[in-house]
Structure 1
């Protein structure tokens, strides 16, 4: 029997994850709450605690609507590692499709890396399996729910009211709070509702590479799988020689030329990175290539 399964990456939202289902605009037999693993986090942040509370509330609320609930927990350090999130999202969604279920992915909540990983994986699966799975475009859906109101604007107004009230007080007891509120409002006015950029092992950004396509022929697949988990290979000749050895075939000029031709195609498609070192081209999997081998 076909189930309607919703994947809900949980951040700091409740209404946008439950209302389309609870109000009957979308049907759901089962929801999968994708959240971080707070139980194994010795010192969870306030943000992590808030997301955990919302996850508990969502689970309890869906139970009341007789919707089955599952949890998929992610390690906290994975939340911004798109390259690790994408294969997991791909596996979660594809397993449901293989079981014959209809899948819905809600990308309304945070963090964006998790939501984008699920959205990209869904799009990639449609591209990869449109010939194998009948009417896959009608079985796999990605959706977004816009908020009716941003509470941060109400919070700013409340802080402004508190600041104006404290400004007229003569008691020294309120001055530290007054000063703190003034500093927060000044930061919001100057820089918006976030501050700084998170340092992730020396890098402040997360790249969202194109999702792997399905235009990979059999010999290209052999090259990609051979490169999996390997450091950069120093030259095309070295790559061809090692590949021939792994495939137990004869290494000759014809095989080397075939490897060179296919590696060039993989470079053009974005599956490998090639860097010139002297007269040689070092070759390794690109981010998209690593995503491909993890999901194929």
Structure 2
């Protein structure tokens, strides 16, 4: 029977919703047990959150000062040590955190990683996107070794928080940690808007905004409906917004309930990042823009006239 270990992603003492999405993927395997591993300097609050996720049978904690910041070189040896204690699978979200971490874990376990799992066919057979999402490939991992995989969070709903109250235990991990990698600082933008990867509503702007000053109309509309703000790569490359707002193949893969693309033509790399969105709305003056091919609602016109009118109507 399968026994799955999920590496929790967290920041500032709060569990990221990507962990609950990994639990949904794990549940699709119908395993004997699902356990969550929390590595932190003080794992108590994150472990308590993880224990509430439906389907989780146990939460394991590793409290070490070296785990105060998520450094892949430091976390990987500890995860590999725990995963080697009878687990058939070890999962992490296919986010910046998981993409940085899991190749090291897989290498330490001596297995090939399965990346961006979007559906489960069986305990060792999965589907994942390739060629910027233009094709889906079926991959089979050897049944004789641990499966190390990242989960495409946009393809899975978050497992519910409910009456579940899994036990929390300390995991005994005695491994030497590398000293050549050290945390210096974390530079990140502060915003009262929802997190882009977890938001239910996202409004994105493209190169047609023409300047960072003009991007303010995107921010104002997003604030009106409590949405996160995103951008196309073209807008990021032009310097209108910071890179952490980029949506697409080389940015963030998201699946909000509502996605509004304003002044975005719809290059395939951008569409890859939003294909799992619920309702897609496009506003563009070019009626032939590729974005209209996938949009549920399309409006052809001048965004500088339409967006203020839309904000006023709201």
TM-score range, shorter chain: 0.3 to 0.5
TM-score (norm 1): 0.38
> Is the strand fraction higher in 1 or 2?
2
TM-score (norm 2): 0.36
Structure index of larger Rg: 1
